Structure 1
Amino acid sequence: MSVFNRLATFLGLRAILLTSFTALSAVSGVAHADLTVDITGVGSNLYPIAIAPFANEDTAQAQISAIVRADLQNSGRFSNINAGGQPVSESDSVDLAGWKGKGADAFVGGSVNKLANGDYDVRFRLYDTVKQQSLGGLALTSSQANLRMTAHKISDFIYQKLLGVRGAFATRLSYVQRVGNRYQLKISDSDGQNEHIALSSPEPIISPAWSPDGTKVAYVSFERKKPIVYVHDLPTGQRVMISDQKGNNSAPAWSPDGKHLAVALTITGNTQIYLVNADGSGLRRLSQTGGIDTEPSFSPDGQSVYFTSDRGGQPQIYKMSVQGESAGAAQRVTFHGSYNTSPQVSPDGKYLAYISRVGGAFKLYEQDLSTGDATGLTDTVHDESPTFAANGQYILYATESGGRAVLAAVSVDGATHQVLSVKGGDVSHPSWGPFMQ
């Protein structure tokens, strides 16, 4: 069992706050490698689609059509119909009836052409073979370094056109990995590829959280031998210390407008929720109890803060006004089970993802906030750190699989499961980034 999930076996709120910080130092080292995706379940009613090789795509380092196929396959919503090896460009005449006869309800063709300045002109067209019509396409200019992201944008277009929901392939992930004696905060594409290191430290890094515009990540670093909250600007690599109050500074969460962060601080001895401006100024206390209040998470409209509290004797999830409990007492949200932590609200505000202790196991649950109905989404027993995709269709979380700490994703209906892992190593503390501006 990994150190992350040994923590979970005795996870009280005080253990969350006091033990998890130091326990991370015991994680075994991992090899440097991209995350790999293994699908362990698929949904029903898969949409059959054929994606032909793009014309001239062999001139680019990234094979656009293969990335799009993988995106759609991994979503658990599509099945790939073999399109053969013959390239088809967006301007070629396509036998839509023939592709329908081969079982494809949609067809995609495109091209990749290198420009004089070294960039690439990427074009594609999507067809509905049932209605025998074009559904449109895009012409995108991409640098060589951004070809994978360009492919993800194509996947997003297809996902939205065919399913009516915005795709989240062109978003990014952050997670923590230990390599040798160093901890690394890593950023990758949504499929775990194209990773790079945002921060490397000999001390633990935990709790990364994306800013709403996708340009910054807040996190907790122990590089000064105590937990301190930083905000890291990804384009420049510069960072700002946001909270270095007495005691522990933990669990940063961005407000939807990006102007504030909620943090959990032990200024008064017991952990409480505070609000701070994004530059570290204007600290203001929100929760007002003698117990432990931690793990804040904003509602999408920015008017409420969800958090974990033991004020009732056992940890449960509560909601208070962004003005704090001085404007009214917090309301309990979770009633299914006696031990619930780690709240995250879906982008549409309809669902709450959280971790529930069920018979000694820690499992990912989803609650309908309008009805209070709660549903278990996983068959794993050491789940932690849930985070929604920007389109609200998937939840990424940390768990254990095959005796290793991995990241996993599940569709909100529980039908599709994925495991994202690094061979020979553990990864933890995932955060799924927003739609890119």
Structure 2
Amino acid sequence: MDQIGRRTVTSLSVGLVAIIILLVTIGQQPSAGQVANNTPNQAQAQVSGILFLRNPAQQAELWRSDANGQGQQLLVPQVSDYSLSPDGRKVAYATQAEAQPSRIEMFDLTQNQVITSTGSADWTGYTPNWSPADGVIVYERRTISTGGVGSPKLWLMQPDGTQVSPVVKGGDVVTFGAHWSNTGRLLGFTDPLRNELVLFDFSDVLRRIPFSGDFDWSPDDQRLVISVLRESQAGFRNELILFDLMTEQQTPLTSQTDTDDFTPVWSPDGTKIAFVRRTREVPRGEIWVVNADGSEPRAITAGGGYDNVDPQWTPDSQQLLWTRLTVGSANVPSAIWTVNLAENSEPRVLIENATQARWIVE
């Protein structure tokens, strides 16, 4: 990430084209009953496979396997990051070609081929993120000029490669870290100049939350869980808090004085939160799970020369997978591990030489 000096944002206007297209796509705000009907039934969703990146230390490749890590198949070479469509049939990803700007491309898992490619010599694109409600994709774009590569800004596009608009236009606005709400009606992202989270409803409202850090939405989109940097007697540390979007009440979720907690991920049934914990003495990540009310925290991994990161839930909230990175050894590749919490089983390796795994849910 570029070092960005704190500057005053002097002008800010919403991208009109983005508003019109997204409001037409998303529709009017529904009632509570309509929200419940439109939310996918997590219990009925089926895991049909796993997407993952291979050879991440080089030019990573996008692969797929079945749900047990078998039947592995190379899909696309030279990929930096990706996002799966809500129906589990397409993948948006950023290319990683040497000495060329990154493009945003689309791979159809049913046709087993690339179907669109969007890019330009004037910009480089990263981190596509598919809306769970419709076909809109948000991604980070950096302008390329003779002076170098600019700061990240969020852009919107359709799956066919049609460019829509910047999410926010005007001034020196810098935006990154986009994260859709579960209904797709809100887009959360980071404003590093103000050190705030911003929630955008695609009308004329930019709601600012006075924190900046990893975050996730509760399944009903009523709360956020945020990794917040705070000062204590032992120094600065990251702890998890719950932030109620209606009342703005803040509730500590984890508060160990000698640990840092990152990358919270809410389970689809809303009962648990997985996260990464690091201690001051041994700053390697371990996967933890805590109830959504803060009770019964427990370690899923423990010990060893590994850094465990990026936990991901199955739709039934019973199984986790994550990336295990080997610390201090370039000869031992990363791997995807999994555990079945419902069966109280031991963690096991699922896919060797792999990272950034996602369940394919249909």
1:218 pairs with 133, 138, 145, which one? 138
Secondary structure of the 2:307 match is coil
Please tell me whether residue 365 in structure 1 is matched to residue 307 in structure 2. no
What is residue 275 of structure 1 aligned with on the other side? Answer: 199
Displacement of 1:283 after TM fit? 1.0
Q: How many residues get paired? A: 271
Question: Contact 1:298–1:345 (CA<8 Å) still a contact in 2?
Answer: yes
What is residue 341 of structure 1 aligned with on the other side? Answer: 262
1:30 pairs with 59, 62, 66, which one? 59
Question: Contact 1:264–1:295 (CA<8 Å) still a contact in 2?
Answer: no
Distance 1:175 1:420 in 2: 22
Question: Contact 2:217–2:225 (CA<8 Å) still a contact in 1?
Answer: yes
Secondary structure of the 2:176 match is strand
Please tell me whether residue 232 in structure 1 is matched to residue 157 in structure 2. yes
Distance 1:257 1:306 in 2: 17
Secondary structure of the 2:188 match is strand
Question: Contact 1:173–1:432 (CA<8 Å) still a contact in 2?
Answer: no
Question: Contact 1:175–1:431 (CA<8 Å) still a contact in 2?
Answer: no
Question: Contact 2:94–2:103 (CA<8 Å) still a contact in 1?
Answer: yes
Question: Contact 1:396–1:410 (CA<8 Å) still a contact in 2?
Answer: yes
Distance 1:332 1:305 in 2: 12
AA at the equivalent of 2:290: Q
Secondary structure of the 2:167 match is strand
CA shift in 2, pair 1:391/1:355, >3 Å = same
What is residue 381 of structure 1 aligned with on the other side? Answer: 306
AA at the equivalent of 2:275: Y
Larger Rg: 1
What is residue 248 of structure 1 aligned with on the other side? Answer: 174
Deviations 1:287-333 (A, max 9, x none): 2xxxx52223110011001112113431111111224xxx3342221
Gaps of 5+ in 2: 5-55, 71-85, 145-149
CA shift in 2, pair 1:282/1:377, >3 Å = same
The structure with more helix, counted as a fraction of residues: 1
Please tell me whether residue 74 in structure 1 is matched to residue 53 in structure 2. no
2:250 pairs with 314, 330, 348, which one? 330
Q: Tell me the C-alpha RMSD between the 2 structures.
A: 4.1
Distance 1:394 1:190 in 2: 24
Question: Contact 1:251–1:296 (CA<8 Å) still a contact in 2?
Answer: no
Distance 1:421 1:239 in 2: 37
Distance 2:3 2:315 in 1: 31
What is residue 42 of structure 2 aligned with on the other side? Answer: none
Question: Contact 2:241–2:252 (CA<8 Å) still a contact in 1?
Answer: yes
Gaps of 5+ in 1: 1-15, 20-26, 38-70, 76-167
CA shift in 2, pair 1:276/1:36, >3 Å = closer
TM-score relative to the length of structure 1: 0.51
Please tell me whether residue 297 in structure 1 is matched to residue 222 in structure 2. no
Displacement of 1:397 after TM fit? 4.3
AA at the equivalent of 1:35: W
The structure with more strand, counted as a fraction of residues: 2
Question: Contact 1:406–1:419 (CA<8 Å) still a contact in 2?
Answer: no
Displacement of 1:346 after TM fit? 1.2
Distance 2:137 2:334 in 1: 21
Question: Contact 1:295–1:307 (CA<8 Å) still a contact in 2?
Answer: yes
AA at the equivalent of 1:373: P
Distance 2:135 2:94 in 1: 18
Displacement of 1:387 after TM fit? 3.7
AA at the equivalent of 2:133: D
What is residue 99 of structure 2 aligned with on the other side? Answer: 181
AA at the equivalent of 1:264: T
Question: Contact 1:263–1:296 (CA<8 Å) still a contact in 2?
Answer: no
Question: Contact 1:212–1:257 (CA<8 Å) still a contact in 2?
Answer: yes
What is residue 273 of structure 2 aligned with on the other side? Answer: 352
Distance 1:200 1:418 in 2: 35
Distance 1:409 1:210 in 2: 25
Question: Contact 2:337–2:347 (CA<8 Å) still a contact in 1?
Answer: no
